């Protein structure tokens, strides 16, 4: 069934027809298309454009179509798009009255309405899964709030931190993603119906009531803008891609810190695979795929922005290309969040190996410089003094602790007597007790706040 063609003498070229059809992918919008159509026929009745009896018959017919509608059910259908499929099935169900569902309505507004409804649902689902991952990180981090491990800058050991601090860092990135998706949802949740092809409809619809029926918070203020706007799709894809980017960073940390060279973390076996040649291997494939799929999600952002670039005002067929980018990124990120949730839930850590690595003396250098500054030496000079002690210890092969003890005995006797405490990584993390710091109490508070932000 085609929704056009009365002024055509022949049929479209066969290869072009397949090139033109969007049903192979926009079938995923079938439930949203039916929901919007049901609300629209009721709006037509409220506007006295059709009778209440006809609206009831149309609604019942659409409900019957919904009973057999699913993306899978449309897999072999031959209609041009999801809108044509729904109207064809409605016509089979109630006859020619089905055509009244299209009164004053254009596919230009139908497609963007269905897409907005679909993205709204995708956002709600993705935010729920992201909140679950934040909770999993918070649970793991709270249980490891006192577990000391090395912190890194430039992939080099820097200062001691706690496992809880590590987990909180990743949790807070996800909190921002959760908020960013919520912000995007507000701009997604705007009703285009009533825009017609580009100039609005002559049917006196109550668009505000129609918006309420479909759960939209607002109506589009410009019909021409509404049918060509895909900002909301690009914004959703960006927010999802940013989420995937945070997942990729977390994946990278877990990959290298679970490697035999560190063995800080033990990955759950169910999220690893073996080697076809090397029997001993347990490869972090789940994490590597999460990391790799960030490129795919980021490409979706460019795909949509490039699609919208330089399009003239009004609906253009180019915009048919929006959906596959949206669906692909949404699917990619959704499964990545769930997989990462499984990894984190099953993750174990080796506290002894982490503590041993955190006890490397050079990691206490910054703390020693701060202690000198608090003992009266200007910090820049203190920094230079400690740098010299590090160089001397490396040159002589002595420990930094003993080198510092001897060098500080004359001018800083209190610090010299307290050197052992200054080189204690547990003490080092406890001194970072301010909000946001790596101190155990600060970390527990941070993790509680992260969970509260996504509730």
Please, are residues 219 and 245 in contact by the beta-carbon 8 Å criterion?
A: no
Helices H, strands E: what count in the chain? 20, 6
Backbone phi, psi, residue 3, to 5°: -95, 10
Task: Name the token pair of 434.
Answer: 């301010």
Q: Is 222 a catalytic residue?
A: no
CA distances from 393 to 158, 171, 381, 389, 405 (A): 17, 38, 18, 6, 12
Q: Does residue 341 sit in helix, strand or coil?
A: helix
Strands 190-191 and 218-219, sheet pairing: parallel
Q: Which residues pair with 160 in a beta bridge?
A: 150
Helix, coil or strand: residue 18: helix
The C-alpha atoms of residue 44 and residue 204 are separated, in whole angstroms, by 8
For residue 76, give both structure tokens: 């072999």
What gap in Å lies between CA 258 and CA 251, rounded to an integer?
10
Q: Which two tokens stand for residue 262?
A: 């560190």
The active-site residue, picked from 143, 259, 275, 433, is 275
Give me 52's structure tokens.
Answer: 């209440």
Cβ contact 314:198 at 8 Å: yes
Q: Strands (DSSP E) along 306-391, which ranges?
A: 348-349
56 is catalytic: no
Q: Scanning the structure block, which residue is given the tokens 């119906």? A: 193
Quickly list DSSP for 179-221. Answer: HHHHHHHHHH-EE-TT-TTTT--SS---HHHHHHHTT-SEE-S
Active-site choice (154, 246, 258, 433): 154
Sequence-separated (6 or more) residues with CB below 8 Å from residue 367? 159, 422, 428, 431
Question: Annotated active-site positions, please?
Answer: 154, 275
């Amino acid at each position: 069934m085609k929704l056009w063609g009365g002024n055509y003498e022949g049929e479209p070229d066969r290869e072009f027809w397949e090139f033109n059809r969007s049903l192979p992918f926009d079938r995923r919008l079938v439930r949203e298309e039916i929901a919007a159509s049901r609300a629209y026929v009721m709006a037509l009745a409220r506007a006295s454009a059709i009778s209440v009896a006809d609206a009831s018959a149309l609604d019942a017919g659409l409900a019957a179509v919904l009973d057999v509608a699913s993306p899978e059910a449309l897999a072999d259908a031959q209609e041009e798009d999801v809108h044509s499929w729904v109207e064809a099935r409605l016509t089979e169900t109630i006859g020619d009255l089905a055509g009244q569902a299209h009164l004053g309505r254009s596919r230009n507004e139908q497609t963007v309405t269905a897409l907005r409804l679909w993205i709204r649902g995708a956002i709600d689902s993705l935010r729920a899964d992201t909140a679950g991952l934040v909770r999993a990180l918070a649970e793991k981090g709270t249980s490891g709030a006192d577990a000391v491990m090395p912190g890194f800058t430039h992939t080099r050991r820097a200062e001691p931190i706690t496992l809880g601090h590590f987990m909180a860092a990743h949790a807070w990135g996800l909190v921002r993603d959760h908020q960013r998706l919520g912000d995007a949802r507000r701009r997604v949740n705007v009703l285009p119906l009533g825009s017609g092809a580009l100039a609005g409809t002559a049917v006196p619809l109550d668009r505000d009531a129609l918006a309420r029926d479909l759960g939209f918070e607002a109506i589009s203020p410009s019909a021409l803008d509404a049918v060509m706007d895909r900002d909301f799709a690009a914004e959703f894809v960006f927010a999802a891609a940013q989420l995937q980017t945070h997942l990729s960073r977390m994946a990278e940390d877990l990959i290298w810190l679970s490697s035999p060279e560190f063995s800080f973390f033990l990955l759950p076996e169910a999220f690893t695979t073996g080697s076809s040649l090397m029997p001993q291997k347990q490869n972090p494939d789940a994490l590597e795929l999460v990391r790799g799929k960030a490129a795919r999600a980021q490409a979706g952002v460019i795909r949509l922005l490039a699609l919208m670039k330089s399009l003239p005002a009004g609906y253009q067929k180019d915009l048919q290309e929006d959906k596959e980018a949206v669906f692909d990124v949404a699917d990619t990120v959704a499964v990545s969040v769930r997989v990462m949730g499984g990894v984190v839930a099953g993750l174990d850590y080796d506290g002894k190996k982490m503590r041993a690595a955190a006890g490397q003396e050079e990691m206490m250098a910054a703390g020693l410089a701060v202690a000198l500054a608090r003992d009266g030496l200007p910090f820049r000079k203190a920094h230079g003094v400690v740098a010299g002690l590090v160089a001397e210890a490396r040159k002589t092969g002595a420990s930094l602790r003993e080198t510092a003890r001897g060098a500080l005995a004359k001018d800083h006797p209190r610090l010299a007597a307290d050197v052992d405490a200054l080189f204690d990584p547990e003490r080092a993390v406890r001194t970072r007790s301010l909000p946001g710091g790596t101190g155990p109490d600060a970390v527990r508070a941070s993790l509680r706040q992260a969970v509260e932000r996504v509730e």
